[in-house]
Amino acid sequence: MASDPFEVLGVPRRFGLDGAALAQRHRDLSRALHPDRFGDAAPTERRAAIERAMAINESFRALRDPLTRAEALLAVHGAALDERARPDPAMLMEVMELREDLEAARGDAPRIESLRDAVARRVAAEESALVALFDADTLDGAALAKARASVVRMKYFRRFGDEADALAG
């Protein structure tokens, strides 16, 4: 995302945003700046209204999801992740073992659900860590490095969750 989604929506640059308040802010802005309100305006104003509406929707999509919200926070703090970002070797081993367990659980819905629950708890722990890091009074280089590592772990856990969902069918 080229722009700052927090700025676009006029919300604080925090990880721990209230989901209901964020959705309400999106609705309010969408209503106030909807392109239909500019139907009689000049073509440049209509085009600008459409661009604003698209930016509002894109920003909301980025901020309503904890993973993409964390990525947006990293980006606005100059620490954006790139596609090559990898977790530490111990985390890679853990994910590999989880995937092996998932494959062994094929056809065993309760076991798959147990694995998904365990990973969901890990994601919740990463989200709690991100609240502590991003929403603290100061965000220094060490905190950004920890946040980056936490976001990478979340990405791997999210991918695992998607694989478990697909296997559970």
Predicted local confidence at residue 48, as pLDDT? 82
**Could you tell me the mean pLDDT of each successive run of 10 residues in the chain, 169 residues long?**
86 95 95 77 80 94 97 95 90 94 93 94 96 91 95 95 87
pLDDT at 49: 81
The DSSP output letter for 36 is G
Give the pLDDT of residue 12.
95
pLDDT of residue 159: 93
pLDDT of residue 156: 95
| Neighbour count for residue 96 (Cβ, 10 Å) | 10
Sign of CA dihedral 60, 28, 51, 54: positive
- For residue 32, the model assigns a pLDDT of 87
Tell me 158's DSSP state. Answer: H
The two structure tokens encoding residue 28: 């309010």
Structural domains of the chain, ranges and CATH numbers in brackets: 5-64 (1.10.287.110), 89-168 (1.20.1280)
> CA-to-CA distance for 120 and 98, rounded, in angstroms?
13
Tell me, what's the pLDDT at 2? 54
